C-alpha cells in the first residue's frame, strides 16, 4: 500500500473531542463525521482537505476519550493515513480497528511542514517527504494489520474470514 498526499499538520495532544466534537456523535455515518472532522480544532479545517491527504501530528494524537468515531471521522474526511510523533494507546487500536493507518516517526514530524507532499509506503515502512527529500523509516505494517486495513477495518475483516470459512 502506497499513499501520496498533501500534509495537514496539527499540533500536540490533539484529543478525540477536537477530532470530532461530541455534538456530532449522533451518527456513525463516515461522511457526516468526516464533514465535521477536526471542527473542535478549527471549524472549517476539513474544507482544505482533499481525498488522499495525510495528517501529520505531534505527540499523543488522539488522546482523551476512547471514541471510535474519531478515526471514522478522519477516514470520512478522505484521509487514509496519519503520521505522528506518537499516538494515544486507545486511539491507536481504534484507528486500526476502523481501517485507519497510523505511523509513528517521533521527532521526524518536526521536519515535515504543512502543505508538504508525502509518500507513505506501508509495506516497507518508509515515509518520504517529496517536498524536502527527508526520508523516515519505521516498522513496516505487519501483514495481519495490512489485511485488516485493506478490508476497511476489523469488522469487515472478520466478516470476510467468516464468509471464506462458510
CA distances from 83 to 21, 79, 162 (A): 21, 11, 32
- Domains of the chain (ranges; CATH) run 2-165 (3.20.19.10)
Q: H or E segment at 84?
A: strand 81-84
Return the C-alpha cell found at 53: 491527504
Residue 166 pLDDT > 90: no
Angle at 38 between CA 109 and CA 93, to 5 degrees: 65
* Average pLDDT along the chain: 95
Angle at 48 between CA 24 and CA 26, to 5 degrees: 10
Phi, psi of 157, deg, nearest 5: -60, -50
Interval 39-70: pLDDT, tens: 999 999 999 999 999 999 999 999 988 889 99
Residue 143 pLDDT > 90: no
Amino acid at each position: 500500500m502506497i499513499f501520496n498526499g498533501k500534509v495537514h499538520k496539527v499540533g500536540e495532544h490533539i484529543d478525540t473531542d477536537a477530532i470530532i466534537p461530541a455534538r456530532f456523535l449522533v451518527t456513525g455515518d463516515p461522511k457526516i463525521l468526516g464533514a465535521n472532522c477536526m471542527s473542535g480544532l478549527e471549524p472549517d479545517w476539513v474544507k482544505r482537505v482533499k481525498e488522499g491527504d495525510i495528517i501529520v501530528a505531534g505527540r499523543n494524537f488522539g488522546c482523551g476519550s476512547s471514541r471510535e468515531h474519531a478515526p471514522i471521522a478522519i477516514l470520512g474526511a478522505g484521509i487514509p493515513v496519519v503520521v505522528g510523533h506518537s499516538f494515544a494507546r486507545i486511539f491507536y487500536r481504534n484507528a486500526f480497528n476502523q481501517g485507519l493507518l497510523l505511523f509513528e516517526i517521533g521527532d521526524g514530524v518536526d521536519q515535515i511542514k504543512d502543505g508538504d507532499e508525502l509518500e507513505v509506503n506501508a509495506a516497507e515502512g518508509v515515509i518520504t517527504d517529496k517536498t524536502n527529500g527527508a526520508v523516515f523509516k519505521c516498522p513496516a505494517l505487519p501483514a495481519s494489520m495490512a489485511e485488516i486495513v485493506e478490508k476497511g477495518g476489523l469488522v469487515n475483516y472478520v466478516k470476510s474470514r467468516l464468509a471464506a470459512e462458510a
